[in-house]
């Protein structure tokens, strides 16, 4: 493409694939992958032979495959951005059918016959890629809570794949010979003869990324949150939160009971530790906890039924602290210990469980009754990174005091716009996390390092072998800084508020959960339904059928409702709000 973006002519030949890209303006960009020798016919008697030089050792394969991939994605992006030629950010059914019919069939003689890297890549670009959703490409993919991928995060993630680091054990740089006592001293130029070999910088980069995140989110005052790690997402973070909470509250009862060797959940198991501490049960108290919380409770052996709602009447997403206190007191009488989970924010409404004075009160209740506080901040935690301007003060009040919790889960793959799968878990007391996650008895995985240095990730998380998922986060934090991230989050919130205002003022729609709420209670989620009951039944489908935006559905008060969740870095408030207003008006008027 030329500098002015108006004329280009790209013809790339890659073995059997021919990519022919011709454009005159960005909006009429045409991209085609011409059929190659690969044609997947399930009924064909014999598989096509792979081209003779099509091997994994072809030095150009990755270069060319990546170039063609980016051209293909760019052409999808152009068709996703409301161009007059193709304003549809969602998939036509025939694209999906084509992808499904291209999948290998076990009955075919070609099944599991080698296709070779180039042919395989051609198939991925031609048949699979067009049938994937465009959530990361379109600011108007407003379903679920997905986020997109900042280009710098994608570039970092490619580096992760290119070098396939396994970030599990921290091997520190061995100390310099007697001349220096500072093992972290970076060798100077004239240290070229430094003979200390080390393993990888990945654990140090991961630690740097976690440190920057902790600072960005304002958790760097007071507690050090040394128990910190990257997870696969907030579900894994909730599993860790309940596991740490269970470990702490049950063990402290077992320790208080005193007799003989102290039992712990990690070493002796939940049943033995509960028996030793006279614990009859573990309950999880929450207000509209995300569904993954019940899953986490099942995984850590508490059971889905241990999750109990203690939300305020009329505002079920808000923790009712009087009810929490009642349950903690009753639990104490009945031998039931508790983990309190703060939903910051709640996935249907985007509202928060606490407000500015609630967390100190909750902390003092938890200390009095020996409970653990876990925050599920999958998307809402990032409200702490919004600018501290008047329009966001209400949201800051919602997330004030979360630093008083014992553990916190959040997602990188949502509002931070790094690729799936990426989550963050913080635990105030690193020793609890280490006790839960220590990988014992593997001499070959032992870190020779100082335990006060970076903790080996395999001892503070669920996995042993782990992807270097810290790198895209590191890249985003470095590239955008506080300011860039605050600006990105502001755009998301302001678009959500524009949509809230439209829905609130529209004669056709009902703004949920309460129409008299302040617009400033909107974070990134907008919940609403059609006033016309018949339209409401099909509202999600009608909106999505326009092809101009994508929303997902839910239920509120037992009736269908639509959720809009804004989470893509590409958001432009006025442009995108205009499309949403136009679509919702047209759908309501039956146009
Ligand atoms: C509040 C909340 N918690 C947990 C999750 C689960 O997160 P993940 O899908 O990253 O595991 C979500 C997902 O939307 C969520 O909104």
Range of weakest confidence among 213-227, 266-280, 409-423: 213-227
Q: Which domain holds residue 309?
A: 198-476
One domain for residues 496 and 468: no
Q: What per-residue confidence (pLDDT) applies to 174?
A: 73
588 CB neighbour count, 10 Å cutoff: 18
Q: What per-residue confidence (pLDDT) applies to 82?
A: 45
Higher pLDDT, 450 or 330: 330
Using pLDDT thresholds of 50, 70 and 90, give the confidence band for residue 185. Answer: low
Q: Is residue 577 one of the residues assigned to a domain? A: yes
pLDDT above 70 (res 110) = yes
Residue 343 CA, closest ligand 1 atom number = 1
Instruction: Output the pTM of the full model.
Output: 0.89
* C-alpha 378 – ligand 1 centre gap (Å): 5
Q: Is residue 173 one of the residues assigned to a domain? A: no
Q: Is residue 368 one of the residues assigned to a domain? A: yes
494 CB neighbour count, 10 Å cutoff: 18
Q: What per-residue confidence (pLDDT) applies to 224?
A: 81
> DSSP readout, 195-256?
------SHHHHHHHHHHHHHHHTT--SSS---EEEEESSHHHHHHHHHHHHHHHHHHHHHHH
Residue 233 CA, closest ligand 1 atom number = 10
pLDDT above 60 (res 461) = yes
One domain for residues 460 and 420: yes
CATH number at residue 417: 3.40.640.10
* C-alpha 476 – ligand 1 centre gap (Å): 21
CB neighbour class for 484 (10 Å; exposed up to 12, middle 13-18, buried from 19):
middle
Nearest to 203 by CA among 163, 166, 167, 156: 167
Residue linked to tokens 């997947």: 40
pLDDT above 70 (res 464) = yes
CA 35/CA 42 separation, integer angstroms: 17
* Domain C-terminal end among 108, 131, 154: 131
Q: What per-residue confidence (pLDDT) applies to 261?
A: 75
Q: Which of 232, 234, 415, 469 to mutate to test the pocket of ligand 1 (most atoms within 8 A of CB)?
A: 234
> DSSP readout, 520-539?
GG-SSEEEEEESSHHHHHTH
* C-alpha 66 – ligand 1 centre gap (Å): 31
Characterize 246-284 residue by residue with b for buried, 16 or more Cβ atoms within 10 angstroms of its Cβ, and e for exposed.
Answer: bbbbbbebbeeeeeeebbbbbebebeebbebbebeebbb
One domain for residues 472 and 492: no
Percent of the chain residues past pLDDT 70, beyond the cut: 84
pLDDT above 70 (res 582) = yes
Q: What per-residue confidence (pLDDT) applies to 262?
A: 83
Q: What per-residue confidence (pLDDT) applies to 222?
A: 76
Q: What per-residue confidence (pLDDT) applies to 419?
A: 98
* C-alpha 318 – ligand 1 centre gap (Å): 18
Range of weakest confidence among 390-404, 445-459, 532-546: 445-459
Using pLDDT thresholds of 50, 70 and 90, give the confidence band for residue 4. Answer: very low
423 Cβ below 6 A of ligand 1: yes
* Domain C-terminal end among 456, 476, 496: 476
CA 338/CA 279 separation, integer angstroms: 11
Residue 344 CA, closest ligand 1 atom number = 1
CA 72/CA 66 separation, integer angstroms: 10
Q: Is residue 449 one of the residues assigned to a domain? A: yes
Residue 236 CA, closest ligand 1 atom number = 11
317's enclosing H/E stretch is: strand 315-319
Residue 145 CA, closest ligand 1 atom number = 14
491 Cβ below 6 A of ligand 1: no
Mean pLDDT, range 580-590, rounded to an integer: 97
Q: What per-residue confidence (pLDDT) applies to 312?
A: 98
Q: What per-residue confidence (pLDDT) applies to 316?
A: 97
Q: Which of 233, 423, 524 to mutate to test the pocket of ligand 1 (most atoms within 8 A of CB)?
A: 233
302 Cβ below 6 A of ligand 1: no
Mean pLDDT score across all residues of the chain: 87
pLDDT above 70 (res 6) = no
Q: What per-residue confidence (pLDDT) applies to 22?
A: 29
One domain for residues 541 and 406: no
CA 339/CA 282 separation, integer angstroms: 8
Higher pLDDT, 194 or 520: 520
One domain for residues 222 and 364: yes
Domain count, the chain: 3
235 Cβ below 6 A of ligand 1: yes
pLDDT in tens, 348-359: 999 999 999 999
CA 140/CA 81 separation, integer angstroms: 9
One domain for residues 106 and 36: yes
Mean pLDDT, range 92-116, rounded to an integer: 94
One domain for residues 424 and 570: no
One domain for residues 495 and 427: no
Higher pLDDT, 251 or 4: 251
One domain for residues 245 and 123: no
One domain for residues 289 and 343: yes
Q: Is residue 138 one of the residues assigned to a domain? A: no
Q: Is residue 156 one of the residues assigned to a domain? A: no
pLDDT in tens, 349-386: 999 999 999 999 999 999 999 999 999 999 999 999 99
One domain for residues 513 and 393: no
pLDDT above 50 (res 428) = yes
* C-alpha 446 – ligand 1 centre gap (Å): 33
* Domain C-terminal end among 453, 476, 499: 476
pLDDT above 50 (res 15) = no
Q: Which range, 43-47, 218-222, 313-317, is most confident? A: 313-317
377 Cβ below 6 A of ligand 1: no
pLDDT in tens, 16-64: 333 333 232 333 333 333 333 333 444 444 555 555 567 788 889 999 9
Q: Is residue 70 one of the residues assigned to a domain? A: yes
One domain for residues 348 and 224: yes
342 forms beta bridges with 375
Mean pLDDT, range 509-538, rounded to an integer: 97
Mean pLDDT, range 196-202, rounded to an integer: 81
415 Cβ below 6 A of ligand 1: no
Percent of the chain residues past pLDDT 90, beyond the cut: 74
* C-alpha 460 – ligand 1 centre gap (Å): 21
pLDDT in tens, 68-89: 999 999 887 765 544 433 345 5
Q: What per-residue confidence (pLDDT) applies to 129?
A: 93
CATH number at residue 559: 3.90.1150.10
Residue 144 CA, closest ligand 1 atom number = 14
411 Cβ below 6 A of ligand 1: yes
Higher pLDDT, 531 or 18: 531
Q: Is residue 536 one of the residues assigned to a domain? A: yes
């Amino acid at each position: 493409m030329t500098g002015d973006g108006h004329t280009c002519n790209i013809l790339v030949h890659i073995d059997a694939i021919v990519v022919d890209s011709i454009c005159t303006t960005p909006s009429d960009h045409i991209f085609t992958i011409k059929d190659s020798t690969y044609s997947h016919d399930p009924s064909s008697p014999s598989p096509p032979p792979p081209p003779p030089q099509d091997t994994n050792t072809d030095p150009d394969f990755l270069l060319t495959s990546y170039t063609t991939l980016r051209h293909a994605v760019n052409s999808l992006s152009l068709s996703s951005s409301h161009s007059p030629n193709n304003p549809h950010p969602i998939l036509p059914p025939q694209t999906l059918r084509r992808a499904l019919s291209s999948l290998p069939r076990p009955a075919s003689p070609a099944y599991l016959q080698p296709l070779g890297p180039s042919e395989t890549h051609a198939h991925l670009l031609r048949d699979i890629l067009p049938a994937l959703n465009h959530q990361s490409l379109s600011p108007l993919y407003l379903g679920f809570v997905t986020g997109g991928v900042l280009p710098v995060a994608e570039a970092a993630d490619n580096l992760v794949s290119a070098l396939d680091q396994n970030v599990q054990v921290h091997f520190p740089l061995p100390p310099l010979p007697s001349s220096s006592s500072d093992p972290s001293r970076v060798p100077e130029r004239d240290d070229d003869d430094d003979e200390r070999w080390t393993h990888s910088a990945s654990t140090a980069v991961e630690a740097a990324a976690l440190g920057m995140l902790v600072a960005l989110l304002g958790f760097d005052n007071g507690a050090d949150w040394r128990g910190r790690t990257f997870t696969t997402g907030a579900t894994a973070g909730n599993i860790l939160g309940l596991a740490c909470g269970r470990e702490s509250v049950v063990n402290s009862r077992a320790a208080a009971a005193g007799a003989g060797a102290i039992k712990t959940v990690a070493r002796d198991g939940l049943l033995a530790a509960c028996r030793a501490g006279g614990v009859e049960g573990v309950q999880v108290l929450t207000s509209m906890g995300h569904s993954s919380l019940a899953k986490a409770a099942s995984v850590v052996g508490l059971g889905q039924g241990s999750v109990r709602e203690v939300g305020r009447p009329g505002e079920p997403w808000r923790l009712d602290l009087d009810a929490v206190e009642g349950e903690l007191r009753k639990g104490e009488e009945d031998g039931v210990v508790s983990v309190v989970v703060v939903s910051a924010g709640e996935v249907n409404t985007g509202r928060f469980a606490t407000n500015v004075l609630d967390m100190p009160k909750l902390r003092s209740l938890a200390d009095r009754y020996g409970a653990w506080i876990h925050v599920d901040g999958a998307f809402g935690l990032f409200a702490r990174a919004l600018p501290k301007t008047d329009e966001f003060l209400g949201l800051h009040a919602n997330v004030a005091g979360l630093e008083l919790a014992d553990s916190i889960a959040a997602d990188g793959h949502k509002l931070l716009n790094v690729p799936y799968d990426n989550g963050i878990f913080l635990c105030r007391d690193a020793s609890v996390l280490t006790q839960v996650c220590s990988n014992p008895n593997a001499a070959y995985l032992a870190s020779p390092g100082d335990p006060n240095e970076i903790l080996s990730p395999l001892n503070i998380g669920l996995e042993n072998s782990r992807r270097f998922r810290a790198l895209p986060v590191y890249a985003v934090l470095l590239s955008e800084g506080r300011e860039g991230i605050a600006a990105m989050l502001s755009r998301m919130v302001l678009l959500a508020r524009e949509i809230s205002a439209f829905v609130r003022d529209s004669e056709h729609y009902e703004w949920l959960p309460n129409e008299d709420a302040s617009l400033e209670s909107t974070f990134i989620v907008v919940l609403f339904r059609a006033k016309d009951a018949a339209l409401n039944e099909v509202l999600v489908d009608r909106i999505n059928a326009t092809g101009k935006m994508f929303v997902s559905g839910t239920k509120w008060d037992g009736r269908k409702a639509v959720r809009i969740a804004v989470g893509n870095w590409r958001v432009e408030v006025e442009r995108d709000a205009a499309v949403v207003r136009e679509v919702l008006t047209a759908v309501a008027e039956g146009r």
